């Protein structure tokens, strides 16, 4: 149990570091570590498939993509624009208001059930695969179509215009 | 022959349409012939119908001919039809309207010959005859009201015939507005009658009215409202000032509308509704008081007027007052008899005045006339007959009708008789003053007028002669018993007034001696006034002064019409103008426009402010999005 | 594995809710206070992840595996979104030579 709280604390700390550092590359790296702590959380829930997919897709692909773009645009601490203090203050307040709203709406401070693992099997790849391909076959196929579209879109958008001489 | 009834109003309507559409294309001869011919045929049909009614009355029946054309309004229990009623009262009115109307049409052929609006004039005249016939023939209050309004409209059109002159147009407007005030009274009375009796038909309302107690408040209200309507149409106090101004119209118009027919519509309506009026003694007293006041006031004003037509106009108002006096004291037959004789001699006097004006090259001021006896003998003779008739000198017709009214007034209250007698004296004086100033003495006009002076053409003098004969002989139809007559008119009209008479309290009749005494007193008084007028205007050749300071105080008051017009101007016209300006500037421009424009402006300004939210700053948009999400969450939590 | 799992059977679901709400709020703050478009996109990723975790926790609590399938789809979607988003950012950079979000203010009246 204490593992959960420790890992949760780590997640929160590194998330805060993500948004408060000035250097964007540092920001990306902190986010990578945050995602790692999320992976640990998934493992704690016995959602093994999700943990692995999180590790590979989020940390391995998406964050790397972010890093590539940062390097491509050659951004570092000096070129980083910052908002005025007033705006930052207002943003923080808005976020905290949102947090408090969540707490109020979801009634998080009532007494609730402890988390019990009813079926420890559901996080396994086999069972997840069975559910995925039986009930969620259509969304699965559609998401493959979505990825194809995104790929074509990304390539087309980022293509350089042919130079006219 | 009851099928002829609808033909009588239809023919003048056809005349109106044909003359109206062809007023510029048809020749003057055709217009004049067509316009007069349709009225003549209507007159012939009226004669046939009158003969039928007469025979029925001789046989002792009520003499009623009804014709129902079609059901006009059928809503729920309400059923109003366009239907006509010919009974002794309306039969005589038909003869008056079509007969005198025909004579005036013939007269207009000569009088309006040089006018460019000849076709329009005849179209309007025919339209007027049409509406007047509807009024007289109607068998329910609604058809009467159509005619009532229609004659008001035609009066406006005809008074303002020469509309390019703004004062004439104003006179027409004044007549119309005052008529409308009376029409409001008529409408309210119609609504009350409908609510009380459930129907507007005369044959339903009058028998049902007998169930009401004398002095019942509903009946009193109805009759007061009807009397208000009559004051508007027949020029009594307080709505009489339009009639003198209406002299702005051509003289045939004054003769037809403002002497013989339209102004008698009020008396006809009250005579028709006599049952209702007898049931409310308060209204009858009111009528008597207002009538005698009007008679005296108008006579007082006529004493000092210099325009020949104005004298006749005030004389009309005064004589109408006598007719209403007759109605008020219960002498319904006497009042209607006076309507008949007044139609004859007043139309005669107006047409004669028109002839004089025509001969004097459109001069109307009597101070510039004089000594026309030799130049216009026929006109002089006929006008003399008319003046003697109106003064009430026997054996001309005016004496009998006026005497009957005065006898009825004496029965009701000797005070009324005295006042009526004074009015008769004044009538004789100013009428003979007019006659002497116009025809006697030396000519006071310009050389050019003297050069053009001539007797009027045959088309104008023949109607004068016909009317003169009628004025002389008209008295025979209702000779009183005291003079050996058989009261033929009273017997003829008795079915119309019988129900009312049954409701009246017992009236005592005058002794024969008293009646002889009253007649003698009035004749002697009139003759003395004639002698006084002769003395002043012929022997001494007195001319009225021209400016206010030279006159005495009373004659100043009389000359300025007792400042009634100025009174109305200050009490009614100015406040309404102020109110209208107020509404126009403040309420309409600032209030209503302010609200409408303000709504638009508010939208515009709100838009200007709201536009600032879209500043293109994506960060701002994100902040707003977060705040919106928070708001939605809070709303969701609170509404659960 | 089972020992670890059994060790963690005592965490109330409320605490997962609080934790994910905090991460989500941190993501929102990141969106609001940074001017660099790329960092904003990363904060959006953070928000998505918080939701993923919560979904997984609820699916475990109810024993319904459709929660975890949903997470799977969210991840696929997030990947596609990042790809396209970064392509757009590169295009914007090519045209305006900056990734400052305050300079992209043409979306107004």
What was the ipTM of the complex prediction?
A: 0.88
Average pLDDT on B457-478 reads 83
Neighbours of A106 (CB within 10 A): 15
Q: Please check whether residue B403 is in contact with residue B392, taking contact to mean a CB–CB distance below 8 angstroms.
A: yes
Q: Please check whether residue B535 is in contact with residue B396, taking contact to mean a CB–CB distance below 8 angstroms.
A: no
**Chain-chain contact of B636 with A90 (C-beta, under 8 angstroms):** no
Give pLDDT, residue B482.
Answer: 65
Reported confidence tier of residue B551, pLDDT bands at 50, 70, 90: low
**C105 lies in some domain:** no
Asked whether the predicted pLDDT for residue A59 surpasses 80, the reply is yes
Q: Which tens digits make up the pLDDT trace of B232-276? A: 888 888 888 888 888 888 889 988 887 777 778 888 999 888 888
A150 vs C14, C17, C84: nearest CB: C84
Q: What angle do CA B495, B499, B501 make, to 5 degrees?
A: 100
In angstroms, how far is the first alpha carbon of chain C from the final one? 59
Average pLDDT on B302-318 reads 89
Q: What is the pTM of this model?
A: 0.71
Asked whether the predicted pLDDT for residue C5 surpasses 60, the reply is no
Distance CA(A18)–CA(A27), nearest Å, equals: 5
Distance CA(A121)–CA(B24), nearest Å, equals: 109
The phi-psi region of residue B46 (left if phi > 0; otherwise alpha if psi is between -120 and 50; otherwise beta) is alpha
Q: Report CA B108 to chain centroid distance, whole Å.
A: 20
Give the single-character DSSP code of B506: P
**C107 lies in some domain:** no
Distance CA(B185)–CA(B224), nearest Å, equals: 8
Q: Pick from B303, B367, B364: which is nearest to B560 by CA?
A: B303
Q: What angle do CA B177, B182, B187 make, to 5 degrees?
A: 115
The answer to whether residue B572 neighbours chain A at the CB level (below 8 Å) is no
Any idea how long chain B is?
640
Asked whether the predicted pLDDT for residue B550 surpasses 70, the reply is no
Reported confidence tier of residue A118, pLDDT bands at 50, 70, 90: low
Q: Which tens digits make up the pLDDT trace of C13-72? A: 888 899 999 999 999 999 998 888 899 999 999 999 999 999 999 998 888 888 999 999
Instruction: Give, to the nearest 10 degrees, the angle between helix B512-534 and helix B414-439.
Output: 30
Structure tokens at B99: 């007969």
Distance CA(B140)–CA(B204), nearest Å, equals: 9
Domain locations in chain B as residue ranges: 1-139, 565-638
Neighbours of B459 (CB within 10 A): 17
In angstroms, how far is the first alpha carbon of chain A from the final one? 67
Give backbone dihedrals phi and psi of B86, rounded to 5 degrees, phi first. Answer: -115, 115
Contacts of B556 (CB under 8 A, 6+ apart): B548
The answer to whether residue C32 neighbours chain B at the CB level (below 8 Å) is yes
**If residue C90 lies in a helix (H) or strand (E), which one and from where to where?**
helix C66-96
> From the CA of B604, how many Å to the nearest CA of chain C?
15
Contacts of A75 (CB under 8 A, 6+ apart): A24, A25, C36, C38, C99
Please report where in the chains the tokens 């540092």 appear, as a residue: A26
Q: Where are the alpha helices (DSSP H) in chain A?
A: 2-20, 24-44, 48-53, 63-73, 85-105, 125-134, 137-158
Q: Pick from B127, B139, B126, B97: which is nearest to B2 by CA?
A: B139
Mutate to test the interface with C, among A150, A152, A156, A162 (most CBs of C within 10 A): A150
**C106 lies in some domain:** no
Give pLDDT, residue B481.
Answer: 65
Give backbone dihedrals phi and psi of B69, rounded to 5 degrees, phi first. Answer: -80, -55
Structure tokens at A137: 């076959």
Distances (CA, A) of A131 to A44, A56, B71, C56, C65: 21, 22, 84, 15, 7
Q: In whole angstroms, how large is the CA radius of gyration of chain B?
A: 30
Give backbone dihedrals phi and psi of A54, rounded to 5 degrees, phi first. Answer: -60, -50
Distances (CA, A) of B231 to A146, B129, B322: 93, 21, 13
Range of the domain at C59: 2-97
The answer to whether residue B513 neighbours chain C at the CB level (below 8 Å) is no
Distance CA(C25)–CA(B634), nearest Å, equals: 16
Distance CA(B327)–CA(B133), nearest Å, equals: 22
- Please tell me the least confidently modeled range out of B141-145, B230-234, B504-508, C95-99: B504-508
Q: Pick from B460, B234, B439: which is nearest to B355 by CA?
A: B460
Q: Report CA B453 to chain centroid distance, whole Å.
A: 33
Structure tokens at B215: 């002095």
Instruction: Give chain B positions within 8 Å (CB) of A102.
Output: 633
Q: Which tens digits make up the pLDDT trace of B415-453? A: 988 999 999 999 999 999 888 888 887 787 777 777 777
Asked whether the predicted pLDDT for residue B185 surpasses 60, the reply is yes
For the domain that residue C88 is a member of, what is the CATH number?
Answer: 1.10.287.3510
- The nearest alpha carbon in chain A to B627 belongs to A94
Distance CA(A138)–CA(A136), nearest Å, equals: 6
The answer to whether residue C28 neighbours chain B at the CB level (below 8 Å) is yes
**Chain-chain contact of C28 with B626 (C-beta, under 8 angstroms):** yes
Give the single-character DSSP code of B613: T
Instruction: Give chain C positions within 8 Å (CB) of A113.
Output: 12-13, 61
Domains belonging to chain A, first-starting first, are 1-76 (1.20.120.1200)
Distance CA(B179)–CA(B320), nearest Å, equals: 16
Reported confidence tier of residue B602, pLDDT bands at 50, 70, 90: very high
Q: Which tens digits make up the pLDDT trace of B23-61? A: 888 888 888 888 899 999 999 999 988 888 888 888 877
Instruction: Give chain C positions within 8 Å (CB) of A18.
Output: 26, 30, 42-43, 46
Q: Which tens digits make up the pLDDT trace of B387-399? A: 999 988 887 888 8
> From the CA of C104, how many Å to the nearest CA of chain B?
7
Q: Please check whether residue B421 is in contact with residue B427, taking contact to mean a CB–CB distance below 8 angstroms.
A: no
């Amino acid at each position: 149990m204490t593992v959960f709280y420790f890992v949760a604390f780590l997640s929160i700390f590194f998330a805060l570091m993500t948004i408060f550092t000035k250097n964007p590359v540092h920001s990306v790296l902190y986010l990578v570590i945050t995602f790692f702590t999320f992976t640990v959380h998934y493992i704690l829930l016995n959602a093994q498939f999700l943990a692995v997919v999180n590790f590979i897709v989020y940390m391995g692909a998406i964050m790397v993509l972010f890093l590539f773009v940062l390097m491509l645009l050659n951004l570092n601490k000096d070129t980083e624009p910052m908002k005025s203090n007033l705006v930052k203050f207002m943003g923080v307040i808005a976020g905290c208001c949102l947090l408090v709203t969540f707490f109020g709406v979801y009634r998080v401070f009532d007494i609730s059930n402890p988390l019990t693992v009813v079926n420890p099997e559901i996080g396994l790849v086999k069972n997840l695969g069975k559910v995925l391909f039986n009930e969620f076959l259509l969304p699965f196929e559609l998401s493959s179509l979505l990825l194809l579209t995104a790929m074509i879109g990304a390539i087309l958008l980022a293509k350089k215009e042919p130079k006219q001489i | 022959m009851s099928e002829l009834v609808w033909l009588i109003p239809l023919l003048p309507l056809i005349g109106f349409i044909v003359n109206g559409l062809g007023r510029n294309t048809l020749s003057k001869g055709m217009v004049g012939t067509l316009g007069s011919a349709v009225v003549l045929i209507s007159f012939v049909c009226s004669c046939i119908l009158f003969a039928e009614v007469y025979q029925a009355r001789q046989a002792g029946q009520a003499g009623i001919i009804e014709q129902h054309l079609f059901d006009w309004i059928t809503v729920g229990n309400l059923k109003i039809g366009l239907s006509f009623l010919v009974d002794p009262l309306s039969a005589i009115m038909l003869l008056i309207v079509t007969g005198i109307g025909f004579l005036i049409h013939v007269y207009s052929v000569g009088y309006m010959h040089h006018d460019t609006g000849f076709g329009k004039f005849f179209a309007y005249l025919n339209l007027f005859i049409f509406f007047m016939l509807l009024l007289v023939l109607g068998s329910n209050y609604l058809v009467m009201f159509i005619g009532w309004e229609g004659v008001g409209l035609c009066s406006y059109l005809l008074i303002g015939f020469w509309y390019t002159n703004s004062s004439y147009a104003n006179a027409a407007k004044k007549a119309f507005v005052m008529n409308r005030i009376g029409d409001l009274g008529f409408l309210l009375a119609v609504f009350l009658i409908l609510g009380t009796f459930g129907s507007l038909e005369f044959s339903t309302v009058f028998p049902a009215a007998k169930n009401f107690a004398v002095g019942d408040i509903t009946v009193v209200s109805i009759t007061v409202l009807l009397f208000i309507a009559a004051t508007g149409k027949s020029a009594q106090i307080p709505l009489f000032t339009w009639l003198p101004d209406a002299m702005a119209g051509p003289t045939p118009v004054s003769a037809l509308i403002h002497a013989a027919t339209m102004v008698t519509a009020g008396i006809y309506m009250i005579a028709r509704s006599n049952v209702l009026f007898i049931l409310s003694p308060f209204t009858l007293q009111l009528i008597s008081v207002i009538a005698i006041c009007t008679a005296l006031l108008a006579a007082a004003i006529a004493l000092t007027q210099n325009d020949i037509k104005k004298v006749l106009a005030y004389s009309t108002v005064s004589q109408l007052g006598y007719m209403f006096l007759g109605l008020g004291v219960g002498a319904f037959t006497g009042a209607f008899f006076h309507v008949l004789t007044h139609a004859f001699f007043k139309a005669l006097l107006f047409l004669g005045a028109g002839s004089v004006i025509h001969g004097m090259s459109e001069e109307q001021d009597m101070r510039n006339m004089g000594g026309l006896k030799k130049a216009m003998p026929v006109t002089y003779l006929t006008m003399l007959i008319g003046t003697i008739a109106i003064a009430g000198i026997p054996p001309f017709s005016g004496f009998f009708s006026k005497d009957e009214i005065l006898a009825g007034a004496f029965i009701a209250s000797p005070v009324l008789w005295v006042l009526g007698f004074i009015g008769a004296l004044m009538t004789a004086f100013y009428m003979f003053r007019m006659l002497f100033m116009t025809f006697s003495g030396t000519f006071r006009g310009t050389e050019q007028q003297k050069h053009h002076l001539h007797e009027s053409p045959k088309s104008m003098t023949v109607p004068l002669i016909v009317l003169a004969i009628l004025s002389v002989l008209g008295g025979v139809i209702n000779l009183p018993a005291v003079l050996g007559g058989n009261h033929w008119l009273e017997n003829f009209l008795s079915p119309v007034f019988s129900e009312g008479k049954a409701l009246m309290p017992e009236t005592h009749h005058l002794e024969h001696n008293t009646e002889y005494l009253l007649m003698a007193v009035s004749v002697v008084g009139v003759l003395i006034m004639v002698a006084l007028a002769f003395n002043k205007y012929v022997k001494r050749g007195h001319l009225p002064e021209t400016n206010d300071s030279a006159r005495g105080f009373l004659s100043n008051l009389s000359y300025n019409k007792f400042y009634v017009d100025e009174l109305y101007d200050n009490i009614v016209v100015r406040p309404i103008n102020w109110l209208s300006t107020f509404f126009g500037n403040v309420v309409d421009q600032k209030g209503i426009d302010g609200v409408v424009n303000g709504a638009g402006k508010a939208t515009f300004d709100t838009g200007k402010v709201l536009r600032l939210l879209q500043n293109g700053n994506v960060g701002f948009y994100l902040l707003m999005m977060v705040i919106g999400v928070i708001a939605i969450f809070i709303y969701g939590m609170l509404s659960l | 594995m089972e020992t670890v799992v059994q060790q963690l059977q005592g965490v109330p679901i409320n605490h997962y809710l609080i934790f994910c709400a905090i991460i989500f709020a941190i993501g929102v703050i990141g969106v609001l206070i940074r001017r660099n478009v790329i960092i904003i996109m990363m904060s959006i990723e953070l928000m998505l992840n918080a939701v993923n975790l919560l979904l997984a926790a609820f699916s475990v609590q109810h024993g319904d595996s459709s929660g975890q399938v949903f997470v799977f789809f969210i991840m696929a979607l997030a990947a596609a979104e990042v790809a396209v988003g970064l392509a757009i950012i590169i295009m914007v950079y090519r045209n305006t030579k900056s990734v400052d979000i305050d300079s992209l203010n043409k979306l107004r009246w």
